[in-house]
Amino acid sequence: MVIQIIMVFLPRPTRAVFFNMKYRRLTREQLAELHPEFINFLATQSISADEWTRLKEEKPTVAVEEIDLFSDLVWEGVLSRVEYLENISAQQMHLFHLAEKEMKLFSVKVMNPEADLTTTKGFNWFRKNWQSDFVEYLVASKAYSDDKNRDKFELIEQGADITKGELYRWFEQMMEE
């Protein structure tokens, strides 16, 4: 495999031996999905395919550092674009709209132990009974800290999934009526 060197004339940036990650290392599966982007990243670091192979064998700590740096760059890009998150468990839903200046939340608590929101049957029960006394709602908002992307990442690490926001917008519409 041939890797084009894009920035031949720029010296390789020097970093401390222990790169302090802001987020977390991508999984093997995520790295495999992003293989072409990782190759381009290595090229911008002036690392050829042969050099990468040598680096992994002779200096595995430096190779891991490169993966960590790439992971942080990927996370930064993803987090800067994410607008909606959902964290759904058996009895609760936390639906987030990550607006420009604040995080907005619709929180739903189902008090019917028979209804498990993570199943089709339980979610269908909720759709039919969303206005019943067995469902409680909370609407809240919170300003971001100094690091908006870190705030988003922490929600993901707590189990939230990135979504297109259909469920959040449905709730928003229902609350306006």
The two structure tokens encoding residue 84: 């909606």
Q: Tell me the pTM.
A: 0.79
Q: What is the pLDDT of residue 62?
A: 87
Tell me which residue range forms the domain holding 49: 28-81
3-class SS at 47? Answer: coil
Mean pLDDT of 111-127: 91
Question: Is 138 inside a domain boundary?
Answer: yes
Residues 65, 99 within the same domain: no
- Is the pLDDT assigned to residue 163 strictly greater than 90? yes
Tally of structural domains, the chain: 2
95 and 150, same domain (yes or no):
yes
Mean predicted confidence (pLDDT) in 65-93: 94
Q: Which of 87, 140, 134 is nearest to 110 (CA)?
A: 134
CA-atom Rg of the chain in angstroms: 22
**Phi, psi dihedral angles at 98 (to 5 degrees):** -95, 80
Q: Give the pLDDT score at 18.
A: 55
Q: Pairing relation of β-strands 135-143 and 161-163?
A: unpaired
Shared domain for 40 and 63, answered yes or no, is yes
Residues 6+ apart with CB under 8 A from 156: 85, 162
- φ and ψ of 123, to 5 deg: -70, -35
Our measurement of the distance from residue 10's CA atom to the centroid of its chain's CA atoms, rounded to an integer in Å, reads: 31
Question: pLDDT category, 56, cuts 50, 70, 90?
Answer: confident
As a whole number, mean pLDDT of residues 124-134 equals 90
Same domain, 73 and 89: no
Under the banding of pLDDT at 50, 70 and 90, the label for residue 176 is confident
> At 4, is the pLDDT very low, low, confident or very high (cuts 50, 70, 90)?
very low
